[in-house]
Each structure stands twice: as C-alpha cells, then as structure tokens.
Amino acid sequence: MNSPWKGKAKATNQDYDDLRPTITYRHILSNNLGVRDPLRVVALCDSDAFYAACERVRLELDPNVPIVVQQWESIIAVSYPAREFGISRMDKIKDAKKKCPNLLAVHVATYKEGESEPSYWKDVDTRTHKVSLDLYRRESNKIITMFKEALPIGEVEKASIDEAFIDFTRPVREKLLERYPYLVQVPADAPNGMDSPLPPPPPIKWDDLGTVLLPEGTDSAGEQSNIDVDGGTTWHDVALSIAAELMRKIREDIHSKLGYTTSAGIARNKFLAKLCASYKKPNSQTILRNQAIPSYLHPLPFQKIRFLGGKLGDALAKEYDVSTVGDLLTISLDEIQSKFGENALWIYELLRGIDRTEVKEKSALFKSMLASKNLPKPITQPLDGHQWIRVLAAELALRLNDARESMPTLWPKTIVLHARKGYETSRSKQATFPFVRNVTVDVIATAADKLWKELTGDSKTVNITSVQLAFTGLEKAEMGQKSIEGFFATRDIQRTFLKRSREEDEPLVSLENTDLAVPKSSDIEAVSFQCTRCRKTIALREGQATGGPSEVAQRLATLRSEHGDFHFAQDLANSNKGSVPVPRGSSLKRQKVEPKGIAKFFIKK
Ligand code: DCP
Ligand code: CA
C-alpha cells in the first residue's frame, strides 16, 4: 500500500493544545460545565483479583494465602499471592497446583438440581450444576454503595462487576473552594472580571497520593513521588491531587470494612482513567497529569486500547501500516474521516487523550434478568427439561428478590424461555408473568414449565443443548406508588385481616382502595361486595356462598383480592403504555439498516 502516512512522522505539540487551559474564576465558580469542564477529574476503580478476593473474605482467610477461583476445570480468578507462583488464568487447575502445591482452589458456587440456593458442593459437575455469580454481584453492590455514600455529590457509574467510574469533579470543586477561599470571590482588580485567570496554584505534595506519571524528559522512571519537581503545576493538578486524596480514603475504607483491595486510575476523563488504573496493581492508584498524557499515550500499541482493538484496530493498522498511538497522530482529521466516516472524530480525539463521554449512572433498573445453561449433555426427553428449569428458576428467584431489597416494587412483565437445538437458532416462548406477591422458585418454575410444554409440544424426543430463562420488562410498578409500597409493607397486617390459608403465592392486591382488600366486619357474612372503583357488585358464584360463615368470608376475601388484582393489572398496563412491545407485522417494526462509517466496525455478526 502506498500511503503518504507510512513514514512515522513525529506528532506535534499542537495535538495537545488543550492540556494547559487557562482556568478562570468563571470555570471554578460554574457548577455545570459538564464534560468540557477544564477542572474535570474522573477515576476508574477496579477491585484486585475480585472473585478470588470475595472467596478469601467469605472464608475469612489470611490475605497471603494463594487462592484461585475455579469454574469446572478452568481458573477464572487468581489472587496476587498465587500470581507470585506464576499462576495465571490460562493455567489448568492441575498445572497451577504443580506450580504451587499449597494452592487453595475454590470452585465457584453452583446451583444444584432441587436446591433453591446456590452453595459450595463437594462434587460439582457441569452436567448437573449451574454456576452462580451471586456472591460476586452482592459484594460488588456493597463496594458501589460505599462509593456512593462517600460521594453524595459525585457521579458513580458501574462499568463491570468489579469496576466503576467516579466523577470527582463536583466533590473536588467543593474542596477547592473550601481550602482556597480566595477563589470564591473575583478580586476587585481582576482585569476581566469572571473571565480573569486564577492566581498561580499552590505547590502540591504528591507524597502518599499514589504513583504520579511524569511528563517526558522529567525523570527516567516516568514516575514522580515527591513535591512538585517540574514547576509546571496547574489548578488541574491540584484538582487531581484532591481527587487522589478522596479516592485513597474511599479505597482504605473499602479495605477496612469489606476486606477488598482496589486499584484506581485518576485522570481528566474516563478513557485515561481506565488506561492508567492498571499501571500498578494491586492496592495502588495512579495519577495521570495532563502534562504527562502525550508521553504516556505515544508509545502504547493502539490495538491494546479498548475500542481500538478488534476490526477497527486491524483496519487502522492495515490502512496506515503503523502500530503505536504516536504513529497515528500524524494522520489528519480529514483523512481519517474520509476513510472511516464522520464519526471518526471520536478516534481522532481518543488518540489525543480526549474523551467527552460522561460518567453517568446507568439506570439502576435493569430491563431484564437472564439465567442460562449450556448443557454438556443435550436434553433428549422433554420431561428432563424440568430439572434445568428449576435450577434456572432458583437463580432468577434469588436475583429478583435481591434486587427487590433496594427496589421493592420491581416487577417482571414477562417470562421468556429460550431453548436452542444444536446449532439451530434458538426458539422461545413467552408469557405474562403472574401477579404473585412472593416470587418463589415454585412460582417461576411453574410459569416456565408451561412454556417448556408449549415449546416441546407433542415431541417424543428433543435435542436441546442450551436453555435460558429470563424476566423481561422489569419495571418498578409506577402507578399508585405509595399504595403498592404500602401493600408490600403491610403484608403481615393484611394477612391477619384476611385470614387466608394460601401461604406463599397469594395474588397481588392493590391497597389503593383499602376497603377492597380489607373486609369490614359488616361484610363478613355477605356474599357480595360493591367495588369502590368500578362500582360493580361482585358476588360469589352459586354454590360458593354455602358452608360456614368463615368459609364464605374467606371465599369473599379471595374474590375481593382477585378483583383487586384485576384493577392493579389494568392500572399497571395503563401506566406502562408507551413501552409496549411493537406487535409482530406492525409497520412500526424497525427496519434493518446497514451500518455506515465507523459503526460497521462494531457490528456483531
Ligand atoms: N472474570 C472471569 N473470566 C474472565 C475474566 C474475568 O470470570 N475471562 C471474572 C473473574 C475476575 C472478575 O471477573 O475476578 C474481574 O475481572 P478482572 O479482569 O478485573 O480480573 P481480576 O479482578 O481477577 O484481577 P485484576 O486484579 O487483574 O483486576
Ligand atoms: Ca479487577
């Protein structure tokens, strides 16, 4: 290929002309500059050897014990003491044990047929067990909660099971104004009022704040451990150092309260924070000052950078015959856009350490919850499906009930069962999920069993290699929020009133009309009641009004609650209008559009 960019010309300083922006009173006193804030500070905090640490904490082991987490025959997490023996995720268990005879290998918890809770069984077999990641999810939530509690005005975005981005910009600004109160007031003699530059920043003591990456030519190691040696301190550096203090404190608290060590990267945006978070692990943090961005980025092989690996990275490497970030800097924006489309501005900026993506908490409301199992031995008899359905139902029950601890009104609209036969595409069946108060394994398994029967039909034999069970349309019940919350909270009281014999799977009753759900004493012997909402008289059917007064009262109570369900369901459906799925064959259905420009590099085939 004959490309004019083949020669690896040097990048120029102009590529980074925003590294030392002038910071004015307007900047420091504004509260909503968003991603263009020149004092923006973002961190990425990642837990060290996370699954291994969760097991170590659960087992109350000494942190120096070499431990790995095993899933069947593979290793999925390696503690740092085990890494000292040269053990990595690539090793098989038996090879790892050869490297370290004292190695403790903990098999990840599994769901076992017939059990409603995951546990650590003696003999695990992929043919009869299913992996449970519930412990890690719960521990991960505890860590995220600590970030949020420590930083009520910072934004926290969970990035994976053991990583989160934290936007320190606002907490840092608060601290800056507190520590340097002379910044709060624009001096009377400031030449441009609010737009006057801030006075020179104070020197920074970087001691104990972590590893500070240095600009090129400052020191051979590229790290800085002491007082401002280069004299080029900016207010952004002060902001970074305050974020580093806050981050260090949170990491120490996580360690002392939960027992986990973490590593963090602190820089001016998400991309750079992530890039330097693993600079030194474990239990450490790295600070990337703006001035050090070029020397840190230039030598990196760009295909190692997330987003620039894969097909896009291959295409860039092929097109320009280059390998490092520095090499790519000589390519003009016009050129890159002509090859990769308008959106390639994003690559152009990323290579220069610019990333304008926000740190934003993803909706705490996950829309779906899925449990799946690839079957080492295919199901051939339709009846054998039930055992797996129960295992998947147990996982969904646990996860939904966990999620309901923080969102008591979380409700799945639909239950979906997928099954794949060999390499064929999967088939699925779905149904509205019943309104039951307690979502138990039985409730889920019963609903899923019906779907399984529909899916397998009259077939005498099947060949199913993978089953998935999912809740979709998970939403917080929005309407009559108070009454629904009240419903969940007053469960025991209601039970006493209704004296119903059905235990776990009572239908959901709306307390919006309290007298619908709670019989008045005068009603007890009646055989009908008038609904206060629809004004209809609802009566027991013939034959149901017979028996002792308490039996009749009980039937009437059931009828009331069923009628309450009807209104609840109707209200819920109305409150969710707008998010209803587009019916099959509808003209509203999305057209398949061929991706253009940069998007085609991110298509999963
Ligand atoms: N994980 C997994 N399979 C993989 C990669 C990771 O099951 N191929 C799980 C186990 C890890 C957890 O995800 O503990 C977090 O992944 P990380 O890549 O962050 O790795 P660790 O936290 O284990 O180690 P490190 O200290 O390097 O971050
Ligand atoms: Ca990790």
**Phi/psi of residue 601, each to 5°?**
-80, -5
Overall average pLDDT of the 265-282 stretch:
96
Closest ligand to C-alpha of residue 280 is: 1
With the most atoms of ligand 1 within 8 angstroms of its CB, the residue from 44, 45, 48, 51 to mutate is: 51
Q: Tell me, what's the pLDDT at 565?
A: 61
Task: Please indicate whether residue 147 or residue 596 has the higher confidence score (pLDDT).
Answer: 147
Q: Tell me, what's the pLDDT at 549?
A: 63
Please write the tens of the pLDDT for every residue from 364-398.
667 899 999 999 889 999 999 999 999 999 999 99
Overall average pLDDT of the 516-540 stretch:
57
| CA of residue 582 to ligand 2 center, whole Å | 40
| CA of residue 246 to ligand 2 center, whole Å | 20
3-class SS string, 194-239: HHCECCCCCCCCCCCCCEEECCCCCCCCCEECCCCCCCCCCHHHHH
With the most atoms of ligand 1 within 8 angstroms of its CB, the residue from 47, 50, 107, 143 to mutate is: 50
Q: Tell me, what's the pLDDT at 584?
A: 35
**Beta pairing partners, 49:** none
Task: Please enumerate in sequence order all residues whose Cβ is within 8 A of that of 565, keeping only pairs 6 or more positions apart, or say none.
Answer: 435, 507, 508, 509, 510
pLDDT value at 45 more than 70: yes
Task: Please indicate whether residue 307 or residue 586 has the higher confidence score (pLDDT).
Answer: 307
pLDDT value at 222 more than 80: no
**Euclidean distance between CA atoms 173 and 240, whole angstroms:** 11
Q: Tell me, what's the pLDDT at 585?
A: 33
Placement of tokens 């709670």 in the chain = 518
| CA of residue 193 to ligand 1 center, whole Å | 51
Q: Which two tokens stand for residue 501?
A: 């014999």
Q: How far is CA 576 from the centre of its chain?
A: 24
Task: Please indicate whether residue 407 or residue 497 has the higher confidence score (pLDDT).
Answer: 407
Q: What percentage of the chain carries pLDDT values higher than 90?
A: 58
Q: Tell me, what's the pLDDT at 17?
A: 59
Q: In this structure, which amino acid lies at residue 204?
A: I
Closest ligand to C-alpha of residue 278 is: 1
Overall average pLDDT of the 116-125 stretch:
93
pLDDT value at 261 more than 70: yes
Supply the residue whose CA is at minimum distance from atom 18 of ligand 1: 49
**Euclidean distance between CA atoms 32 and 352, whole angstroms:** 24
Lowest mean pLDDT among 43-57, 223-237, 475-489: 475-489
Lowest mean pLDDT among 268-282, 330-344, 579-593: 579-593
Task: Please indicate whether residue 227 or residue 554 has the higher confidence score (pLDDT).
Answer: 554
pLDDT value at 195 more than 90: yes
Q: Tell me, what's the pLDDT at 308?
A: 86
Label the pairing between strands 285-288 and 262-267. parallel
* Atom from ligand 1 closest to the CA of residue 48: 26
**Euclidean distance between CA atoms 558 and 274, whole angstroms:** 56
Q: Is 480 left (phi over 0), alpha (psi -120 to 50) or beta?
A: left
Q: Tell me, what's the pLDDT at 588?
A: 34
Q: Enter the DSSP assignment of 105.
A: E
Overall average pLDDT of the 319-333 stretch:
91
Supply the residue whose CA is at minimum distance from atom 6 of ligand 1: 76
Q: Tell me, what's the pLDDT at 223?
A: 52
Q: Tell me, what's the pLDDT at 586?
A: 33
Q: Which two tokens stand for residue 39?
A: 């004092």
Q: In this structure, which amino acid lies at residue 450?
A: K
pLDDT value at 482 more than 50: no
Chain mean pLDDT for the chain: 81
Q: Global pTM?
A: 0.75
**Euclidean distance between CA atoms 172 and 155, whole angstroms:** 12
Task: Please indicate whether residue 7 or residue 413 has the higher confidence score (pLDDT).
Answer: 413
Please write the tens of the pLDDT for every residue from 536-594.
777 777 666 666 666 777 777 777 766 666 666 555 555 444 332 333 333 333 445 56
Q: Enter the DSSP assignment of 599.
A: G
| String of DSSP letters for 457-478 | TT-S---EEEEEEEEEEEEE--
Residues with CB under 6 A from ligand 1: 46-51, 76-77, 161-162, 281-282
**Phi/psi of residue 486, each to 5°?**
-60, -40
**Euclidean distance between CA atoms 154 and 147, whole angstroms:** 9
Closest ligand to C-alpha of residue 131 is: 1
Task: Please indicate whether residue 508 or residue 558 has the higher confidence score (pLDDT).
Answer: 558
Lowest mean pLDDT among 65-79, 240-254, 258-272, 348-362: 348-362
Q: Is 41 left (phi over 0), alpha (psi -120 to 50) or beta?
A: beta
pLDDT value at 6 more than 50: no
**Euclidean distance between CA atoms 331 and 6, whole angstroms:** 10
Overall average pLDDT of the 488-510 stretch:
31
pLDDT value at 361 more than 50: yes
Surrounding residues of ion ligand 2, Cβ less than 5 A: 46-47, 50, 162
| String of DSSP letters for 354-366 | -------PPPS--
Lowest mean pLDDT among 45-54, 197-206, 355-364, 517-526: 517-526
Task: Please indicate whether residue 441 or residue 605 has the higher confidence score (pLDDT).
Answer: 441
Helix (H) or strand (E) holding 345: helix 345-350
